[in-house]
Structure 1
Amino acid sequence: MPETGIASKARFDIVRYAQVWEDADILVDALAGPPGRTFLSVCSAGDNALALLLLDPRTVVVRDLSEAQLHCLAVRIAAMRTLAWAEFVALMEPTPAIDRTALMQRVLPALSPAAREFWQTRLDAVEILGLAGVGKFEHYFAVFRRRILPLIHGAATVEGVFVPRSREDRENFFTEHWNNWRWRLATNLFFSRFVMGRLGRDPAFFAHAEGSLPAQVRRKVRQAAVDQDPSKNPYMQWILIGRHAGALPLAWREEHFATIRARLDRLDVGLGRVDDQAAQKFDGFNLSDVFEYMAADEFSACYGRLLSLSNPGARLVYWNMMAPRRVPAVHASAVRRNAELEARLAAADKAFFYADLVIEDVT
């Protein structure tokens, strides 16, 4: 299939996402069902593909246009096979006084030659930042955390976000200590499409964006800080303090480590478009936010190809940040929106910068 749209415009030779920024708890809840099913997943950094193994599938087919992103999953697989759980987390996190280079030297022999060469050239970055900190998007948040956030709030206020509180106390803390004019000004500047495109995402990823990203960030941050419990939010913790403090992404948690490790052979990982899987049928789809990088006609064509890969009753799960995407009108009769499940899971979604969670069932 020829490269079109984002595949011909954005760079795919760098680690853009060193960790996955869609909430795996939400994804796994959305795709819950009987064992033995087959899933198709966008790779990104691989965390959510690993999380799908908790559903006891027959196979998880993982695809990405970026070989660098596939290397992120490959090193996780090798680390899970080689290291104990605490060592795995130490390799992922920028934990002080941990020799991550020594951990990587144990992991590298378990990688393919291409993945081994890729990570050997990045050992210094892994030593300093942890595997989960070496991506462009993570660097964007690091710039915010180190250069912008200290101009808005002191360290005590930032740490105070993650103190367990009642909802009423969280709302008081947010109103009285967090939501000041400096915060509102900083979000207007730093979370603009221009800055995020230059420092975080590729500018091409915003070609079809609509609406105000800063306003969306402020609204969703309030939801994550008040309606939810930040002490249990690994995504907010990484953004504001640069590490996970008491909360880990689903696939990294100790209670799931042995289960995921035992099922790693069920992953089918490869380079390519997620909608280009000949002669396979799937029961569930983890599509990340892949549709918002597409023009309307490309989105419709891609959606149609995914429907052709779907078993009856298959479920599509995806997110939108800035480009509103739902089933194209031409395919509307083939799917049913699961609005009740969307609403319930969206309220609990800890990855607070996405505007919309979409769950659609093939009829």
Structure 2
Amino acid sequence: MQSEFTQVPLDCLRYGLVWESAATLYEALELQADDHALIITSAGCNVLNALLAGPRRVTAIDLNPVQNELLQLKVHAVRHHPPAVLRGLLGLAGPAGVAQAAAALLPTLPPARRQAWAVRLAQHPRGLLLAGRLESYVTAFLPTLPAVLQAKLAHLLRFEGVGAQAAFFDEELATTDFPARFIQYFDQANLSRGRDPRLFRYAAATGGQVFYERLRAQLSQQLARDNFFFRFFFFGPENLPESILPPCYQAAHHARLRAHLPRLRVRTGEAVTFLLSAAGPPVSKASLSNIFEYVSAAEFGRASRALGQRPGPLRAVFWNLLQAQAPRPTAGVPLLAGISAGLSAREACFYFGGVRVLAFAGAPTGALRPARSGPPPAAFTFSAPAL
């Protein structure tokens, strides 16, 4: 697939957090014990969340090998350390927790990886969730606000009903210069601080105004205090209730996650290309993050039609950001419109423009040349999920 992501440097950590919610992932894919799930790695959160659901196999894939390295570090922490170490590394317990976790983890890493991660953790003393380029940019917004606006944003976490919460926002924040500050900070000209500007080639709208309207709409539908992404977006990783963390980072799920780690495989490569390769037919479910944000509508159509011709059924979910791919079912784009609309309305991260669930029936058995046996194509590199 011709994606703009192939045109940007893949030598840094672009994401420290997966912004697509696990609740949407679970409902969209309905993972079962006999599924083989392909999950875009990104920061690894939804790879680990998928493992928790118990499918037979999870394959993590990313064009950026640094993102896979981050996942493998988390896997190492889960496999060899108690929950507090992973929590500390993420930054959930503050800088002191990061330092304590690093002191416990680094000596257990292979020497070849120990120094590199020692440097990265020293560069990001507030934790891995803030180590990505996007997260560094997003969470730097709050300090740009006057103290009075910061206090009003924090007050949104006190409400027990969305009606009162929305009214407070409209009366105490929408009437100030908060909208202008938010729109300017997250407009496309500045958004490139968090994402490479080449990734906006196909965007139909600039970010600031769109993101502000989405934020305002969500505050009339969901409680901010219970929304992990709202709280992280504005206030960072500290002081987050355990119950609203992504499932894979909750201590109660640590043992189950550790038990399922042998089911994980990690690959470096492009997801659609992998699905269409000889290694792809066993995959029955796929979470494709927002990779179609970075291709043209024509390229999305070609990719969708090709996926419909692969052997076997495939259920896939992806998220739109500023480009409305698959607005309706069309030939070659088997959109589950009702499910997609429902998930879009409930998606926890306010800045996404919609969730799309596709259900490909697949080509009849024997209609295509059978997938060859043997190793995966040279376009993909494999790494074991352990350090």
| TM-score normalised by structure 2 residue count | 0.84
Number of the residue aligned with 1:342:
340
Q: 1:356 to 1:55 in 2, by over 3 A?
A: same
What aligned pairs does 1:44-193 form with structure 2 within 5 A after superposition? Answer: 44-93=42-91, 95-96=93-94, 98-108=96-106, 111=109, 115-126=113-124, 128-147=125-144, 149-150=145-146, 153-193=148-188
Distance 1:75 1:226 in 2: 38
Secondary structure at the aligned position of 2:39 is classed as strand
Contact 1:43 1:64 survives alignment (8 Å):
yes
Post-superposition shift, 1:335?
A: 4.8
1:226 and 2:224 matched: no
Number of the residue aligned with 2:13:
15
Of 203-212 and 158-167, the range deviating more from structure 2: 158-167
Number of the residue aligned with 1:204:
198
Contact 2:4 2:199 survives alignment (8 Å):
yes
Q: 1:335 to 1:8 in 2, by over 3 A?
A: closer
Give the % identical residues: 26
For residue 289 of structure 2, what is the amino acid of its counterpart? S
Post-superposition shift, 1:216?
A: 1.7
1:32 and 2:30 matched: yes
Count residues with an aligned counterpart: 354
Contact 1:145 1:242 survives alignment (8 Å):
no
Secondary structure at the aligned position of 1:276 is classed as helix
Post-superposition shift, 1:137?
A: 0.5
Post-superposition shift, 1:77?
A: 0.7
Post-superposition shift, 1:327?
A: 8.3
Distance 2:289 2:237 in 1: 23
Post-superposition shift, 1:106?
A: 3.3
Number of the residue aligned with 1:299:
300
Contact 2:41 2:61 survives alignment (8 Å):
yes
Number of the residue aligned with 2:236:
242
Post-superposition shift, 1:309?
A: 4.6
Superposed CA RMSD in Å reads 2.3
Post-superposition shift, 1:20?
A: 0.7
Q: 1:310 to 1:347 in 2, by over 3 A?
A: farther
1:264 and 2:265 matched: no
Q: 1:296 to 1:18 in 2, by over 3 A?
A: same
Secondary structure at the aligned position of 1:337 is classed as coil
Post-superposition shift, 1:188?
A: 2.5
Post-superposition shift, 1:4?
A: 4.8
Distance 2:318 2:263 in 1: 22
Contact 1:25 1:250 survives alignment (8 Å):
no
Distance 2:114 2:267 in 1: 16
Structure 1, residues 295-353: CA drift from partner, whole Å, max 9, x if none?
234333433444445632x2110011112212899xx4455321221222222111110
Unaligned runs of 5+ in 2: 362-387
Secondary structure at the aligned position of 1:227 is classed as coil
Q: Which has the larger radius of gyration?
A: 2
Number of the residue aligned with 1:326:
326
| TM-score normalised by structure 1 residue count | 0.90
Contact 2:336 2:358 survives alignment (8 Å):
yes
For residue 208 of structure 1, what is the amino acid of its counterpart? Y
Q: 1:112 to 1:333 in 2, by over 3 A?
A: farther
Q: 1:310 to 1:79 in 2, by over 3 A?
A: farther
Structure 1, residues 221-278: CA drift from partner, whole Å, max 9, x if none?
1233221011111111111111252221232123322222211111110111112323
Structure 1, residues 171-194: CA drift from partner, whole Å, max 9, x if none?
221112222241221133111111
Determine which structure has the larger helix proportion and give its number.
Answer: 1
Of 100-109 and 336-345, the range deviating more from structure 2: 100-109
